Structure 1
Amino acid sequence: MKTIRRLIYVEVIKAVAFVTLGFLSLFFFFDFVDELQSIGKPTSLGYGAGQALIYVTLLIPSHLYELLPITVLIGTIFVMARFAQSSEYTILRTSGLGPWRALRALLLLGLGFVVLTFAVGDYVSPISDRTAQLLKSRYQNVYALAGNTGAWLKEKQGDKSYAVNVISMGRDGTLKDSRIFEFDAKGFLVAQTSASLARIENGQWRLFGVERQQYETSGTGDKARVVTSTLPTLVWPSSLSSEMVSVALLRPDRMRTLDLFEYIRHLDANGQTAQRYEIEFWRKVFYPLSCLVMVVLALPFAYLHFRQAGLATYVFGGVMIGISFFLLNNVFGYLGNLGNWVPWFTAAAPGMIYSVMSLAAFTWLVLRR
């Protein structure tokens, strides 16, 4: 059995690597063509072809994370169908490779792809995506990483509440163009603090180049006034950490699972809606597991009998199944956010649908025929 497993594993890994390389090359080409329109613009500060190549290269881990379940399906279908076409799988069956042993072998291989998908999506992709955005911000003079208005965060301290706006975050953790709006217990704005730079150290924000406006509205009529003061530095105690700020500046699907969890807790503690982030959190949990679904879905192709012309047809069918899974996964994310569905169900539904499909195909083609 070790020899059989080694044969299957080597062939599947080679096929998956080849398909993944082809898809990544295609996405790399499209991304680079899309970046050509940004090269040489007057607003670009030295953003040339070299910087564009680095930028699209840094996007590869994000594409790899999105494509892995699809390429696992296509590569495994190709190997299983080729084994069936050349009668190799018939020989393997006569050598003792029963349906359940084959399923167990593929599930072990699928676990390896699950670990790879999780590692890429949770560690490599967030770092590379953030580096790519910082590179583009540096050369194109575009500072906002989370839309034109940057990221917004909220915090409560006793009777007071604060709304914090951060435009961007440097590689060293420096915050640029931060604004802090202070509200009293009744929800009235009492002060606004602006800082050109800020650093988060030991549970406090150290602001530099500060301009503070206090709105004194306790009086009536002409006694209400705005007091403006300028300070070189100012310390603001806050529970908002640099990790929370970096999470808010990134797209939810590019965040680490742990960062998403901590940010959801922060939103819940401050009475903010976390539906979007909860869906993305559970998608990060369930998405790598879809590799297991894909290898099970590919196993019945080894039990099909077809002529030479049928191989390309079944591989094309695998491509369509993979694309449909990707589309269904995105559609459920949008529908769940709009319809306020249960987050874990929204994230797990596509995988459960395809799990039922794969088990039904396995039962019909493998056990009943």
Structure 2
Amino acid sequence: MKTIRRLIYREAATGVAFVTLAFLALFFFFDMVDELRWVGRASEAGYTLSYALLYVALSLPAHLYELLPITVLIGTIFVMARLAQSSEFTIMRTSGLGPWRALRTLLVLGCAFVIVTFAVGDYLAPLSDRAAQLVKARRTGQISAGATGAWLKERQGDHSVAVNVRALDPNGHMRNVRVFEFDAQGRVASTVQAERGEFAPEGDGWNLEGVRRNVFHHGNASPGAPTSASGAGAAAPRVERLQEPNYRWPTRISTDMVAASLLKPDKMATIDLFQYIRHLEANGQSAQKYEIEFWRKVFYPLSCLVMVVLSLPFAYLHFRSGGIAAYVFGGVMAGISFFLLNNVFGYAGNLQNWSPWLTAAAPGLIYSLLSLGAFGWLVLRR
């Protein structure tokens, strides 16, 4: 039985590796074609073809994380169908490989793919994506998100602060920083505009350069001061305008929080997502999108287990010459449908405010029921 397990593991690993390499080559080609539009149009540093190739190559681990459950399904379907076509699986069955033992063998293989998917998604992909962004930033000038950059919120006593960082430069400095401070009544207390900013080494503030500050004095009368119809006794509202070459702004917003808001949630590690969600909740901001992505990070690697179970019934089908291609094509369609369903549930859960963990787990649960139904109908009943 140990020889049979080694044969299945070797064939499945080879099949999955072959399919994964084919898909990565396809994504590499498409990304390279898309990246060619930026070659020669960057800053004076020069975004050449070699840097475009490096950027696309560093983006491959993110594609690998997205593709692994799909390639596991296609690769194992191909292997199981080929073993059935060549009657090798029939020989294994006569040697004592029953349905439950075959299922247990594939689940062990699926656990290995789960570990690989988790390691790629939580360690390799975030590191390579940050390296890719750094390569592009050094040649194009900055890292930004959307038209207005990153927005963050923080509470400071009874005041609330909204912060906008337009972009990060290759050295980690912030560009075009805007800070809006609101008092307890929701009125604007002050605004700060800075050309450039950097995080203080102590971690308790930002050092801003080229600062323009506006301090709003709303003219509230002091307690007990006499008032009249003409407003005598009350200070007149005014705006104090200040220009300073350097300004120290106290804040608890760290480098990781700014970087997290500039990165897409699916590019972040699980622990970074969890910390960022806690920051958003502590400051009264909606964290629905990030919570869904956090639970997707938790459940997505487990979908490899679902895929190997879904491939097992193909070993019990009877194939004629050339009939294996149709089943492999069916596996491709099933993998693509899982990917689409995963994305659709993510968008729908964010719009409809569904429970984050249920939104993330629903595609896996649906395909688990399908795989167990196929296993019971095609394997146990035959």
TM-score scaled to structure 1, two decimals? 0.95
Q: Pairwise mapping of residues 87-126 of structure 1 onto structure 2 (< 5 A)?
A: 87-126=87-126
Q: How many pairs are equivalent?
A: 368
Mapped contact 1:12–1:79 kept (Cα < 8 A)? yes
Whole-Å separation in 2 of the counterparts to 1:366 and 1:307: 19
Larger radius of gyration: 2
**2:332 matched to 1:319?**
yes
Give the residue type in structure 1 aligned to 2:339: F
Q: TM-score, normalised by structure 2?
A: 0.91
How far has the Cα of 1:177 moved from its partner?
2.9
Q: CA deviation at 1:122?
A: 1.1
Within 1, Cα distance between the matches of 2:311 and 2:289? 32
1:155 has 2:168 as partner: no
- Cα contact 1:193–1:210 (8 A) shared by 2: no
The CA deviation at 1:210 is 4.3
- Give the counterpart letter for 1:269 in structure 2: A
Name the stretch that deviates more: 344-353 or 126-135. 126-135
Any idea what SS the aligned residue of 2:301 has?
A: coil
Secondary structure of 1:155's aligned partner: strand
**What is the CA-CA distance between 1:224 and the residue it aligns to?**
3.5
Bigger drift between 167-176 and 269-278 goes to: 167-176
Residues 200 and 246 (structure 1 numbering): CA distance in 2 closer, same or farther, change over 3 Å?
A: farther
The alpha-carbon deviation at position 36 of structure 1 amounts to: 1.5
Once the two structures are overlaid, the 10-residue window that deviates more, 30-39 or 9-18, is 30-39
Give secondary structure in 2 for the equivalent of 1:308.
Answer: coil
- Matches of 2:173 and 2:114, distance apart in 1: 35
> How far 1:344 moved relative to its partner?
0.8
User: 1:51: which partner in 2?
Assistant: 51
Assess, with a 3 A threshold, how the Cα gap between structure 1 residues 318 and 42 changes in structure 2: closer, same or farther: closer
Partner of 1:169: 168
Confirm or deny: 8 A CA contact 2:126 2:268 kept in the other structure: yes
Structure 1 runs of 4+ aligned residues shifted over 6 Å read none
Residue 237 of structure 1 and its aligned partner are, at CA, apart by 2.8
Three-state SS of the structure 1 residue aligned to 2:249 is strand
1:361 pairs with 2:374:
yes
Equivalent residue, structure 2, for 1:189: 188
Letter in 2 for 1:84: A
Pair 1:140–1:360, CA change in 2 (3 A): same
Q: Which residue is 1:67 aligned to?
A: 67
State the AA in 2 paired with 1:165: N
Distance of aligned partners of 1:334 and 1:111 in 2 relative to their CA distance in 1, 3 Å threshold: same
Could you tell me whether the CA contact under 8 Å between 2:15 and 2:75 is conserved in 1? yes
2:223 match: none
Identity among equivalent positions (%) equals 63
Show the counterpart of 1:246: 259
The alignment yields a C-alpha RMSD, in angstroms, of: 1.9
- Residue pair 1:203, 1:237 contacting (<8 A) in 2 also: no
- The CA deviation at 1:43 is 5.8
Amino acid in structure 1 at the alignment position of 2:14: K
- List gaps (5 residues or longer) in structure 1: none
Which residue matches 1:337?
A: 350
Q: Is the 8 A contact 2:208 2:249 kept in 1?
A: no
Q: Structure 2: which amino acid aligns with 1:98?
A: G
Give the Å deviation of 1:22.
0.4
Q: Where does structure 2 lack aligned partners over 5 or more consecutive residues?
A: 220-230
The code of the aligned residue for 1:187 comes to: G
Distance in 2 between residues matched to 1:277 and 1:111, nearest whole Å:
26
> How much does 1:144 deviate?
4.3
1:84 equivalent in structure 2? 84
Query: Shift in Å at residue 165 of structure 1?
Result: 1.3
